[in-house]
Amino acid sequence: MSVPSASRHLYKQYVRIAAKWPKDANKAPERDFANFLSKEVERQFKQAPPPSSTAICEKRLQALDQLLNNEIKKKYPNEYTSGVFGMRLEDLQMASSEENRKQMGLKPKESIFKKMFRAVVPEKKKA
């Protein structure tokens, strides 16, 4: 199966952005957006029909590029030093770290899609 040139170009652009996306040292790989983005790019472009329309893919690519390059932050700078809870960024990062989640007894949650899929297609029982 040959992949159209436009899809191949989009795939390369998505892979480039996913590779540049910073990893979050405070989060486990399954909670890190950079890891999710890489896996999702592979999953979407490995499908037999190309994902969505080319125009939608290009808009999403542009949005990711703007986020990666902090274009909105540069265009609209602010002086905020704390978030809605009055905590600094460093404190929020620490609060959402894997270590703190374990201390609070928070376990990884199963996504709603996995729950729905499991309800429709039950797991095979081990022999």
Residue 49's pLDDT is what? Answer: 66
Rounded Cα–Cα distance for residues 109 and 5 (Å):
39
DSSP state of 126: P
Lowest-confidence region among 26-40, 43-57, 65-79: 43-57
pTM summary value: 0.65
Tell me what the mean pLDDT of segment 85-95 comes to: 83
Residue 34's pLDDT is what? Answer: 94
Tell me what the mean pLDDT of segment 104-119 comes to: 74
Kindly list the domain boundaries of the chain, sorted by start residue. 5-120
Three-state SS across 70-122?
CHHHHHCCCCCCCCCCCCCHHHHHHHCCHHHHHHCCCCCCCCHHHHHHHHHCC
Rounded Cα–Cα distance for residues 49 and 27 (Å):
33
Kindly report, residue by residue over 52-65, the tens digit of the pLDDT. Answer: 688 888 999 999 99
